[in-house]
Structure 1
Amino acid sequence: MTWGGWALAAIVPGLVSILAVPWVLYKMYPPEVKETPEAAAQAAAELKSLGRLSRNESIMTGTIVGLLLLWTLGDTMLDMSATTAALIGLGVLLVVEVLTWDDVKKETQAWDTLVWFAALVMMATFLNTLGLIPWVSNQMSEATGGMNWMVAFVILTLVYYYSHYLFASNTAHISAMYAAFLATAIATGAPPLFAALVFAFISNLFATLTHYAAGPAPVLFGTGYVSLGKWWTNGVVMSWVLILIWTLIGGGWMSFLGIW
């Protein structure tokens, strides 16, 4: 599986998703304000009224740019983790007094997200450590043994997709279940490259399910604009839309490419 092969296999269902997902979500959960023709003029006027960058704004801008570079290159060039880079950025802002510790403490949503998201990640890790995820993988292997590979593949992909309700991280889910489910699918007769790509696609798509499904989700949910019930409802409906697109259009496109 190469980068180019992945991109080629995903481009058609990906483009369809880019068009379909916002439209479906717009119909399900329409915005309160649908037209803002004056927004550009208001933004330009507000920006003009702000004047030139202040000292603190310039330091903040430089720090953000520096963090982006460290998050992008720090791991490979400096052996620096993203967490270390973030702490350095926070330390710089505190030392030069762009931020005070009181400013940090006031970010209650950030602290709230940090605490419960960390607990969810820990719980997902222990599901694997204590044997639940390997047990599920073994059960699926036994349940699909002897089935027609297409039937088995549908079952395996659906279980893999919706088991993400148990995880607070794409990486944790992939680490725990990707290899086991892929091996099971191949054992039932599924084309290896096709199976590897489908599970790889799902490993991105299931990030829409819940407010803790992926790294950005808790931050977006923490803004408070979408209720928990609405998020989960939209998440499950969007999963049906994505499964339909990537099964019919994606499957047809990969068949055309000769992947299966």
Structure 2
Amino acid sequence: MTQTTRQRTSQLIKAAVCVAVTVAIYMVPPPGGLEPRAMHMLAIFLGTILGLILQPLPTSAVAIIGLTIAMLTGAMDPKTEAFAGLGSASIWLIVAAFFIAQGFVKTGLGRRIALVFISLLGKSTLGISYGLSAADLLLAPATPSNTARLGGILFPIITSISDVQKSTPESDESRRRIGAYLAITANNVNAITSAMFITAMAAGPVVAQLAADSDVTIGWGTWALAGIVPGVLCLLIIPALVYKVYPPTIKHVPSAQSDARKELKELGRLSVKEWIMAATFVVMLVLWATGSMTGISATTVAFLGVAVLLVSGIITWKDMAANTSAWSTLIFFGVLVGMATPINKLGVAEWAGEIIAQATDGLPWMAVLALLTVCYFLMHYLFAAELAQAVALYTLFLGVAVAAGAPPAASALMLGCTTGLIGAMTHYASGPAALIYGAGYVKTPEFLKIGFLCGIVSVAVWLTVGMGWWKIIGIW
């Protein structure tokens, strides 16, 4: 059997599993309180989610097939429900984010920012890691595509440093010199920065929208203020923790700082386009941070940034049209958000929430929120993207927490931040994780071990220090 034949056989088996699960749930008589359409919609939605996990076809293809089945069976109304998600402002914010990330890459401003931090902190391997972490933190608020942030801006710096130190994926001895440490640390740091801002990951705006649908408003400034203390603490802990349990064989890199300064000197002064990109970046940050006062939505700010980049020639329509990730994301996420909406309207989430609520009945709300957060984190082993899990589970878990007496704002933020923290726990957890894994520096067992350890530590920090900080600033 050839490799192509094996791949096709595997795809057919995965597709058959998705169909079987969908049909089985579809045929189950609806429990008390649910109408048949609710059960049918739940079956199709879960089958689609399973397809996103197993991936018998690309994600967008799976989403379109799920949407088609929902329309054919009458589970979704083609006129009022099926395409509603494609018009979501949150989805278009994600699309705009891909174009903004293109600006950082095309102008070279992102690389320059990373080099500045390395020139200041790059004397040791640990110092380089902290320098990359600082760069990720600075870029995070304005690059909602965490894959673009790590893959397009920071990862090329990591590979450049590794190559200079003769650390490549070719052998265990070579990769462990410095490349493996920098790669796995950057992946886990990226998950932390993704949890610190609404606009630091694709799932952030969708989480905010799902919270709003549950009558909980999370502004950009509120999320940023809530995330800054636990986030910065995790950014201090994680590089040192990975350094301890997964140390590089090269501890000191005296040439890294000089190499970074040399490259910065070769780059010269900021170009006109870099200045425009920097100014756009700062203005977007200010407008996002003051959105609750100005009334300007995050999506409007993002498209203002895109418009400036288009007018200035930093990006072109040809660049945007060729950005298949942006348009695939529009279809994939738009369809999923659209499919999740009728499930909530038909009472499925409320029904499932009652079951979970019964299991946690009588526990203090703090314990319920902690258990739900840990459970939400661990369930990501079943998902291949942060957003897919958020769409499937966020509203349900938020409803259970609030029903148990947990403060709505604290619950919404805790689950929202955890949606970012889950992005590094497996090699298929997110776009950045897949990118790091595919580079070959980190083996599967190492990836899972470090991802689980860093994830649990980060969740613990958010549940303890984070909750304490939120009490001080009045979130609960």
TM-score when scaled to structure 1?
0.65
Match of 1:152 in 2: 368
Cα 1:211–1:139 shift into 2, 3 Å = farther
1-structure distance, mates of 2:323, 2:409 = 42
Matched-pair identity in %: 37
Change (3 A) 1:138 1:224: farther
Following the alignment from structure 2 to structure 1, what is the Cα–Cα distance between the partners of residues 361 and 306?
42
Report the Cα offset of residue 7 of structure 1. 1.0
Number of aligned positions between the proteins: 204
Q: Which structure 2 residues correspond to residues 103-252 of structure 1 after superposition, within 5 A?
A: 139-252=355-468
**Aligned mates of 1:172, 1:75 — CA distance in 2:** 27
The answer on whether the counterparts of 1:209 and 1:232 sit within 8 Å (CA) in structure 2 is: yes
Task: Using the TM superposition, give the Cα deviation of residue 140 of structure 1 relative to its aligned residue in structure 2, in angstroms.
Answer: 2.3
Residue 147 (structure 1) shift: 3.0
* Residue 25 (str. 1) matches residue 232 (str. 2): no
What does 1:89-100 correspond to in 2, within 5 Å?
Answer: none
Return the offset for 1:183.
0.9
Q: What's the counterpart of residue 252 of structure 2? A: 35
RMSD of aligned Cα (Å): 3.7
Q: Distance in 2 between matches of 1:33 and 1:5?
A: 41
Residues 37-46 or 228-237, more deviating: 37-46
Q: Say which SS state the counterpart of residue 439 (structure 2) adopts.
A: coil
Query: Aligned partners of 2:305, 2:319: CA distance in 1, in Å?
Result: 10
Deviation at 1:142, TM superposition (A): 3.1
Partner-residue secondary structure (3-state), 1:222: helix
Q: Which has the higher contact order (CA 8 A, sep 6+)?
A: 1
Counterpart Cα distance in 2 of 1:43 and 1:257: 39
- 1:6 alignment partner in structure 2: 223
Instruction: Give the AA of the match of 1:249.
Output: V
| Runs of 4+ displaced beyond 3 Å | 39-48, 72-77, 84-87, 133-139
Amino acid at match of 1:88: A
Is there any run of 5+ residues in structure 1 with no aligned partner, and where?
Answer: 51-64, 66-71, 78-83, 91-113, 115-120
Report how far residue 73 of structure 1 moved. Answer: 5.2
Q: Which residue of 1 aligns with 2:322?
A: 88
Displacement of 1:240 in angstroms is: 2.1
Structure 2 residue ranges without an equivalent (≥5): 1-217, 267-276, 278-301, 308-317, 326-331
CA displacement at 1:216 relative to structure 2: 1.1
